[in-house]
Amino acid sequence: MIALLLSIVSATVIFVVFKLFSIYKINTLHAIVVNYLVACSCGLYFQESEVVITEIANNSWFIFAVGLGALFITVFNLMALTTQRSGLSVVSVATKMSVVIPVVFGLVYYEESLGILKFTGIILALLAVYLTSNKTANGLKIKPSNLIFPILVFLGSGIIDTSLKYLQGEYVARNDTPIFSATIFAAAAALGIFLLIVHSIQGKFQFKFKNVLAGIALGIPNYFSVYFLVQALRSDIFESSGIFTVNNVAVVIFSTIVGIMFFKEKLRPQNRIGIGLAVLGIILIALEKW
């Protein structure tokens, strides 16, 4: 339970940091690259056993971690593109609704239980995510030509969560979670640095120290959100379908509360209904376990 709560808190802190990005006009790509470097450093620091850099590639999970790292920053750029073309609400809904992918994977691949309480809780949670994340008055409006981008965000986010579940169960030893996470972030950072080099060649890069500070502020909770999520998946508090559902929905609730308290965000009636359904969904999932 502690690991799940800490993962939720870490993810909520990420939301706060991103909100501050817009206030202080942070270059998001620059901060994201620094964030990945910081998150990688956290993984190396918290690895209990001795880390031999040249031997990391010998791990069975190495190639998967590199692929995940590339997917991390690719999905980030897709999210930025989707925001520009269709708005923040579309990105928020696509990202959070992607929880259906690891949930279905857990139910099918691991043959996890699906009683009436859990099924109802998951359905309510998905509806809650949509209602709470959608901040527009008339629902989501997407031009047909732009539909591919939120679909890719949905698929990419879902594949990341599903891969984390699969790899931690099949390839990653419990003590190797920090170095596994560090490798993912290192791969993402490497691709991000390549993008910055391209921007520099094109004359689009401008160094600002505030972007570095923003990246540091983002990198620490980003590392722990992944680390504690993996630890929660290793626990027996819920099956993975329950873990992902509760994690995503709780992050939506906490982020919404923080937005109201500290950023004076307004809630529409649909958002209030969504929060209520989210709480009910979590309760139903918990009741089936206990």
If the chain, 290 residues long, is cut into consecutive pieces of 10 residues, what is the mean pLDDT of each piece?
94 90 90 95 91 90 96 90 80 88 94 92 92 75 82 95 93 92 96 94 92 96 94 89 92 89 86 92 84
Which residue do the tokens 């099924």 mark?
119
pLDDT at 117: 92
CB-CB contact of 95 with 18 (8 Å): no
For residues 179 and 119, is the Cβ–Cβ distance under 8 A?
no
Separation CA 24–CA 59 (nearest Å): 41
Record the pTM: 0.90
- The confidence score (pLDDT) of residue 290 equals 61
Among 206, 230, 210, which Cα is nearest to 218's?
210
Q: Find how far residue 95's CA is from the centre of its chain.
A: 8
Tokens matching residue 219: 């990198």
Torsion of CA 187, 191, 193, 196, to 10 degrees: -160
234 CB-contact burial (10 Å; exposed 0-12 / middle 13-18 / buried 19+) = middle
Q: What is the CB neighbour count within 10 angstroms for residue 27?
A: 18
- CA dihedral angle for residue 37, residue 39, residue 51, residue 5, rounded to 10 degrees: 180
pLDDT of residue 86: 81
Question: Would you say 211 and 143 are in contact if contact means Cβ atoms under 8 Å apart?
Answer: no
Q: Where are the domains of the chain?
A: 2-15+53-289
CA–CA dist 148, 82 (Å, integer): 9
pLDDT, position 50: 86
